[in-house]
Structure 1
Amino acid sequence: MISKYLVSLFLLISSQAVAQTSQVQIAQNSVGKLQASIANKEDFKKQLTIIAEGIKALELAKVDKKTKNWPETWALKAYLSSYIAIIDDNESNADKYYGLATEAYEKAKTLDKYQSNNALITAANHNINSKKQKDGNKAYQQNDFITSYKLLKQVSDYFQTDTTLAVNTAICAQNIQYYNEALTYYKRAKDNGIKNFFVFQYLANIYSSKFESELAIKTLEDGLVVNPYHPYLTNDYINLLLDNDKYDKALKIIEGSIATEKRSKLLLFLYGYLQQSELNNKPTAEIAFKNALDIDQNYFDALYQLGLVYINNSNDALKEKNKQKASSFINRAELTLLRAHEINPNDRNTIQLLIQIYTRKNKLDKVQELKRKLNEF
């Protein structure tokens, strides 16, 4: 990132500077030598020695009455100082020159009314932002998210197409509960083509927290385009559709997902739940719950809902005056819900269903036992 700007940098030397001062020329020559050093891949110590010559000359140029207000003087100082800030292993020295570079950069921008030093100023700004990014990343690793956010935000606003930078800025904002800012930078990453599933997931979560459900749904749909059938995105998408009563759409997504993820007990459960609650299709719901239990025989939710299917089937049989069929289904409900109760003994809904079953079976001792248990909660 750094060398690209340095190698391509060309010097715009005003005729006034050439004629009136040798110190500015020395600094300009240092930039030329530095470019050659970078091209030859010389080590940083050699580069620092070259820069030192230019910095020394600029210290004289900035107090000379002829050159102290020349934009060249400050553009060169900003550029050379900013380069020290990003290559010096001495952290204290790097920070010192970062401060000097920032000050010189602002002065150069003010003085350079005709943009004759634009290449130097642009390169200095690039280096300054690279230093900010380095410090921001360090703060991030130390969990200092406030400092990291302040720095990375500035850098991301400079390198606006850098998706990784935008995501790191968003994560920092999210960690300090700046959710609107997090939304801005996650969206920047998304708009610049990032494909990481968690960016779409986090974006959708933020939209949901702001009660912007349609935007959340659209974000997950966009995420699934670049991450087809991703389990986390698919689950979030289905749950969001269910939360917003979009049952038909949810059912189609679940059906399609089951075809690719045959061993997903959650998808099978959700499919059965929708068949049971929205379509009143008890036979299909029963098959789905049983398939989920084939994957995990201790799946409480599937056991509970399967018990409900059997109770409803028993009630339908009673309406048809088919006592034998009703008894058969109520027995299945009892066994299924007892298994659910064994897995989660403190679930009140399961206990209440068992009380209904034992009341129908006239097993009053069981009824009293379960009622006492309910009173203990």
Structure 2
Amino acid sequence: MKNNFLLIFICTLSLNVNAQKTQVQLAQNSVGKLQVSIANKEDVKKQLTTIGEGIKAIEVAQNDKKTKNWAETWAIKAYLSSYISLIDENESNADKYYILAGEALEKAIKLDKYQDNSGLIKASTYNINIKKQIEGNSAYQQNDFVTAFNLLKQVSDFLPKDTTLAVNVALCAQNIQSYDEALNYFKRAKENEIKNPVVFQTMASIYASKFENELAIKTLEDGLKLNPYHPFLTNDYINLLLDNERYDAAVKIIEGSIPNEKRNKLLLFLHGYLQQSQLNNNNAAELAYKKALDIDQNYFDALYQLGLVYINNANNSLKEKKNQKFISYINRSEFTLLRAHEINPNDRNTIQLLIEIYTRKNKLDKVQDLKRKLNEF
């Protein structure tokens, strides 16, 4: 009688174990069916039905004393749950399975000592990261940059070669004023051969704000190697060189860029300004300003600086006792600065120069009018 009880117990135990094994096998079959369904591009409803069968089986297996300790159980659950989180249009249900997928993946990795389930674990990890990317992009669109940064950072670390992801993480970091992190992810994009000039511009701007000017200059040089004569990169590079008093380098880059940017009035203006202020070459400056004004006749900065060129030439003519030239240059400066004054009537420096010109020409009524205007500001 005793032996008969033992036999019945062993048989019952064997049936229970086999039953749990069957549940895992059912779940495995669902994974296979899902792969076929995906390959055949079946609709989401069919895929969810297939996954539902597997989820039902795996939930039984995960609650069994034996199969709950199998890495395979949790790897299957992680994969099926992560796929639901991507395709289920019911957001609350998708979010629920996203959480369950993460928990199951953690257990699967812990139990899978021999990497027997590496394929399922890898696929689950990928799916979970895609879900994080979706959530991160959504948070970014809602201006929740902290959440977006935390999520997209994880995805970028999982997919470090994806330059778009790296840039998006960097932009999130910028928005939360985490500039070191922004640089880290911009650099990741740069190291993976991104060519987008905005990346180089933004990196240089961050370096400059940290007073790391050499790194800023080097970054813009790298950007220009990939985007030769790009107008925004070129302008930023020139301005940075000027800010750091590297005038010779600025002149070279300007002279090299002008043939490719003949309609770039700012480039022409900067060329004139350097010729005027650093090289004392008024003739070259005059020519550059005139070319800029050919592009935009109402370019105030070019008019103002051209007026200064004529005043300087007038002063030089006076020193050389060339009165006729002096008169010619004073008249030109008056005409040019009057045009500048018409465009920007509230610019004090232009008014001061016109007062100086009219004083020399003994037009005291105009001097008084302009002085009254200054007092009105």
Question: What TM-score comes out, normalization by structure 2 length?
Answer: 0.92
Structure 2 unmatched runs, 5+: 1-16
Aligned-residue offset at 1:280: 0.7
- With 92-101 and 108-117 compared, the bigger mean Cα shift is at 108-117
Q: Is the 8 A contact 2:20 2:64 kept in 1?
A: no
Q: Could you tell me which residue of structure 1 aligns to residue 36 of structure 2?
A: 36
Aligned-residue offset at 1:83: 0.8
> What root-mean-square deviation, in Å, do the aligned CA atoms of Structure 1 and Structure 2 show?
1.6
Deviations 1:184-238 (A, max 9, x none): 1111111111111111111111111111111111111111111111111111111
- With 278-287 and 32-41 compared, the bigger mean Cα shift is at 32-41
Aligned-residue offset at 1:19: 10
Q: Could you tell me which residue of structure 2 aligns to residue 3 of structure 1?
A: none
Tell which has more relative contact order, 1 or 2 (C-alpha 8 A, sep 6+). Answer: 1
Residues in 2 aligned to 1:195 and 1:45: alpha-carbon distance in whole angstroms: 42
The question of 1:305 aligning with 2:305 is answered yes
Aligned-residue offset at 1:303: 0.6
Q: Could you tell me which residue of structure 1 aligns to residue 359 of structure 2?
A: 359
Q: Could you tell me which residue of structure 2 aligns to residue 286 of structure 1?
A: 286
The question of 1:81 aligning with 2:81 is answered yes
Amino acid corresponding to residue 215 of structure 1 in structure 2: L
Q: Is the 8 A contact 2:23 2:61 kept in 1?
A: yes
DSSP-derived class of the 1:33 partner:
helix
Q: Could you tell me which residue of structure 1 aligns to residue 346 of structure 2?
A: 346
Aligned residues: 361
Question: What TM-score comes out, normalization by structure 1 length?
Answer: 0.92
Deviations 1:240-288 (A, max 9, x none): 1111111111111111211011111111111111111111111111111
Q: Could you tell me which residue of structure 1 aligns to residue 118 of structure 2?
A: 118
Question: Cα 1:301–1:249, aligned 2, differ >3 Å: closer, same or farther?
Answer: same
Residues 37-116 of structure 1: pairs in structure 2 closer than 5 A: 37-116=37-116
Q: Could you tell me which residue of structure 1 aligns to residue 11 of structure 2?
A: none
Deviations 1:265-317 (A, max 9, x none): 11111111111111111111111111111111111111111111111111111
Residues 168-207 of structure 1: pairs in structure 2 closer than 5 A: 168-207=168-207
The question of 1:237 aligning with 2:198 is answered no
Deviations 1:154-181 (A, max 9, x none): 1111111111111111122222222222
Structure 1 unmatched runs, 5+: 1-16
Amino acid corresponding to residue 81 of structure 2 in structure 1: S
Q: Is the 8 A contact 2:27 2:57 kept in 1?
A: yes
DSSP-derived class of the 1:194 partner:
coil
Q: Could you tell me which residue of structure 1 aligns to residue 7 of structure 2?
A: none
Aligned-residue offset at 1:18: 8.4
Aligned-residue offset at 1:64: 0.5
Aligned-residue offset at 1:100: 0.5
Residues in 2 aligned to 1:139 and 1:193: alpha-carbon distance in whole angstroms: 27
Residues in 1 aligned to 2:142 and 2:254: alpha-carbon distance in whole angstroms: 42
Residues 361-376 of structure 1: pairs in structure 2 closer than 5 A: 361-376=361-376
Residues 128-167 of structure 1: pairs in structure 2 closer than 5 A: 128-167=128-167
Deviations 1:104-158 (A, max 9, x none): 1112222223322222111111100011111111222233322222211111111
Q: Could you tell me which residue of structure 2 aligns to residue 323 of structure 1?
A: 323
Residues in 1 aligned to 2:307 and 2:376: alpha-carbon distance in whole angstroms: 24
DSSP-derived class of the 1:346 partner:
coil
- With 195-204 and 115-124 compared, the bigger mean Cα shift is at 115-124
Amino acid corresponding to residue 344 of structure 1 in structure 2: N
Amino acid corresponding to residue 100 of structure 2 in structure 1: L
Identity %: 76
Amino acid corresponding to residue 179 of structure 1 in structure 2: Y
User: Runs of 4+ in structure 1 displaced over 6 angstroms?
Assistant: 17-20
Residues in 1 aligned to 2:373 and 2:68: alpha-carbon distance in whole angstroms: 88
Residues in 2 aligned to 1:355 and 1:292: alpha-carbon distance in whole angstroms: 26
Aligned-residue offset at 1:368: 2.5
Q: Could you tell me which residue of structure 2 aligns to residue 266 of structure 1?
A: 266
Q: Return the index of the structure with the highest Cα Rg.
A: 2
Q: Is the 8 A contact 1:18 1:25 kept in 2?
A: no
DSSP-derived class of the 2:195 partner:
coil
Q: Is the 8 A contact 1:205 1:216 kept in 2?
A: yes
